[in-house]
Amino acid sequence: AGLEPSPPARPRGRPLRPPRPAELLLLLSCPAFRAHFARLFGGEAAEQWHFANAAPDDEVSEDEEEDQLRALGWFALLRVRPGHGEEAEERGPAVAVAPLGAVPKGAPLMACGSPFGAFCPDIFLNTLSRGVLSNSAGPLLLTDARCLPGTEGGGVFAARPAGALVALVAAPLCWKAREWVGLTLLCAAAPLLRAARAALGRLHPGATALAALLPPEMGAPWGLPLRDPGPPWATAAVLVECSTVWGSGVAVAPRLVVTCRHVAPREATRVLVRSTTPKSAMIWGHVVFATQETSPYDIAVVSLDEDLDGIPMPVPAEHFHEGEAVTVVGFGVFGQTCGPSVTTGILSAVVQVDDTPVMLQTTCAVHGGSSGGPLFSTGSGELLGIVASNTRDNNTGATYPHLNFSIPITVLQPALQKYSQTGDLGGLRELDRATEPVRVVWRLQRPLAEALRSKL
C-alpha cells in the first residue's frame, strides 16, 4: 500500500503475535467459481468490468491488471511452521465451514479482513464489516459488506449457522462501466476446501495426511437448519422487460406489477415479466398506466395475463422511520444472467411536502437495472417504496450507488388499491398532477425560487 505513514501506530490493546514463517503447500482455484465468473463477468461486457485494487482512473498498467484478473479466483493453502513452546496455547476450535447453499440470499454476513494487507496490522488486522449475501451463482457469491484492498483472502462468516465460514474475499472492489458497484466478490469456502482436499490427495503422501486435517463442512449433527429459506422479501422482485429496456418491478397483486416509467414507458405496450423464485416463470402483460414525462413520479403499472405464483405479496408500510434498516431487491448489475440482488442500508432521509412523504433516500447500493424494484423495511418486511434512481453528478459523470431515491408506497397505495378493486385508473392519473413543491423535490432543487440549480 502506498499509504502515508501516519503518527506511530499504537497497538489496539491486543498484542499481536510476531509474524511466523510459513510455506506454500499449493495454489488452488474452484473450477465452478471460474465458470460462473466467466459467465457473469465475461462475454461481450467483459471490458466493462474492472476488479483492480485501484479505481479505474488510477494508473495501473495493463499487465498488472491482467495479472490481477488471472489471479482473482485463485487462493493459496499455507502451512505455518511451528514455533518453539507456543503450541500449547495455540489450540483453538477449528473453523466451521458452511455448506454451499446453506446461507440464503439476504442473510446477514460479516467479513473479516485486514485492509491494506500487512500495512499497520496493529490498526487494521481483522477489521470487521457487515452486510448481507447479495447474490449468488454457484460458489460465486456477492456481498454488500464494504471491503477494501488488502482484504482479499479474508473470511466471511455467517450469523446463522453461527460463526460458520461461508466464503473468502476474491475481489473487494469492482467497477462496471467505470462505476463503483459497491459489492464484494466472494468464493464460497466449502467448494474451495473440497478442491484443496482433492489437490492435496494428488501431491506427495505427506500432503494427503494434511487433507484430513482441513475443516469439514458443517452437517446435520450441528443441529441447525441448513436450508434457511431466508427473508421472504428477498424473492419479491421481478425482472421487467419492455422491448430492449429492462428493469425491476414488484408484484403488488397476483396480476399487478409496479415498475418505473423509464422501464415501461408507454401504455398498452407488451411487457415480459420474469420471476426467478421460487421457480423461474415468464408471464406476458401490458402497461395499463405510466405517468407522464412531466410527472415527478416515475411509475408504471403492468397488468399480467396470468397470476404470478409463489411470490409473496408485500404489505405496504403506512409510516417511515428515518434510520431504520432497509433492504433493496432488484435486478441491477446482472439483469437476467443472475437472480435479483439484495442490498442493505438505512433509510437515510424521508423528504416531505406538507407533512406528506414524497421521496425516500437510502444508503443501500442501487445500480442500473434496479429501477422499479422494491424497498423494504428489514425489520418489519413492509414495502416502503419503489426504487426510482441512484445519483449521478452530471459535472463529473460519477455515479453514487449508495445515495438513491424511492417513491414512497404511501403515494401509490390508495391508487393501486382502487385500480385493483375497480379497474379505475383515476387515482393513478392523479400522479400526473403532483404539486410544484413535489416536482421541485424530485428535480433536486431547493424550494426557493431563487435557489441555485443542483448539479446532480
The catalytic site residues sit at: 262, 298, 371
Q: Which is nearer to another protein, 120 or 440 (CB)?
A: 120
Q: How many residues make contact with another protein (CB under 8 A)?
A: 92
For residues 12 to 41, the per-residue mask of contacts with another protein, x marking binding by CB under 8 A and - elsewhere, is xxxxxxxxxxxxxxxxxx-x----------
168 binds another protein per the rule CB under 8 A: yes
What is the Cα–Cα distance from 267 to 302, expressed in whole angstroms?
9
151: contact with another protein by CB under 8 A = yes
Nearest approach, Cβ of 281 to another protein (angstroms)?
A: 34
Quick check: helix, strand or coil at residue 379? coil
**Binding positions for another protein, 381-410, rule CB under 8 A:** none
Shortest spacing between CB 36 and another protein, in angstroms: 15
For another protein, what does the binding mask look like between residues 58 and 97, x meaning CB under 8 A?
A: --------xxx-xxx-xxxxxxxxx----x-xxxxxxxx-
Q: Identify the CA nearest to 239 among candidates 251, 255, 231, 254.
A: 251
Q: Is 294 in the site for another protein (CB under 8 A)?
A: no
How many CA atoms does the CB half-sphere of 433 hold within 13 Å?
5
Give the whole-angstrom CA distance, residue 390 versus residue 18: 46
Shortest CB 234 distance to another protein, Å: 18
Alpha helices per DSSP H over 109-216 = 121-124, 189-201, 205-211
The secondary structure of residue 217, as a DSSP letter, is: B
- Our CA dihedral for 449, 446, 383, 175, rounded to 10 degrees, sits at 130
Minimum CB distance to another protein, residue 54 (Å): 14
Contacts of 272 (CB under 8 A, 6+ apart): 240, 241, 242, 282, 283, 284, 285
**Positions 176 through 195 that interact with another protein (CB under 8 A):** 189, 192-193, 195
31 versus 437: smaller Cβ distance to another protein: 31
Report whether 330 contacts 240 (CB < 8 A).
no
Q: Which part of the chain contacts another protein (CB under 8 A), choosing from 212-220, 254-262, 303-311, 438-446?
A: 212-220
Nearer to another protein, 154 or 339 (CB): 154
Dist CA 340 CA 274 (whole Å): 11
Measured from the CB atom, is 121 or 312 closer to another protein?
Answer: 121
28 or 283, CB closer to another protein? 28
How near is the Cβ of 260 to another protein at its closest, in Å? Answer: 34
C-alpha cell at 394: 452530471
Contact in structure between 116 and 149 (CB atoms under 8 Å)? yes
Q: Decide: is 241 part of the binding site for another protein (CB under 8 A).
A: no
214 in contact with another protein (CB under 8 A): yes
Examine residue 107 and tell whether it contacts another protein (CB under 8 A). Answer: no
* Smallest separation, CB 228 to another protein (Å): 13
* Residues 347, 409: Cα–Cα separation, whole Å: 14
Dihedrals phi, psi of 426, to nearest 5 degrees: -55, -45
Long-range contacts of 409-416 (CB under 8 A, 24+ apart): 409/316, 409/317, 409/383, 409/384, 409/385, 410/316, 410/317, 410/318, 410/320, 410/356, 410/357, 411/297, 411/357, 411/358, 412/258, 412/297, 412/299, 412/386, 413/316, 416/252, 416/253, 416/256, 416/258, 416/301
Kind plus residue range of the DSSP H or E element containing 49: strand 49-50
Residue 159 in contact with another protein, rule: CB under 8 A: yes
Q: Residue 309: name the closest of 354, 276, 261 by CA.
A: 276
Scanning residues 114 to 143, which ones bind another protein (CB under 8 A)?
A: 114, 117-119, 121, 123, 125-126, 128, 130
Q: Does 230 bind another protein (CB under 8 A)?
A: no
Contact status: 7 vs another protein (CB under 8 A) = yes
Site for another protein in 357-386 (CB under 8 A): none
Amino acid, single-letter form, for residue 447: P
**Least distance from another protein to the Cβ atom of residue 116, Å:** 8
DSSP state at residue 7: S
Q: Which of 40, 100, 112, 236 binds another protein (CB under 8 A)?
A: 112
Residue 6 found at the interface with another protein (CB under 8 A): yes
User: Which range in 156-164, 225-233, 249-257, 387-395 contacts another protein by CB under 8 A?
Assistant: 156-164
Q: Which is nearer to another protein, 170 or 236 (CB)?
A: 170
Pick 85 or 397: Cβ nearer another protein: 85
**Stretch of 146-154, 261-269, 327-335, 344-352 contacting another protein, by CB under 8 A:** 146-154
Please, which residue, 54 or 440, has the CB nearer to another protein? 54
Q: Cβ neighbours of residue 178 under 8 Å, at least 6 residues apart?
A: 50, 56, 57, 397
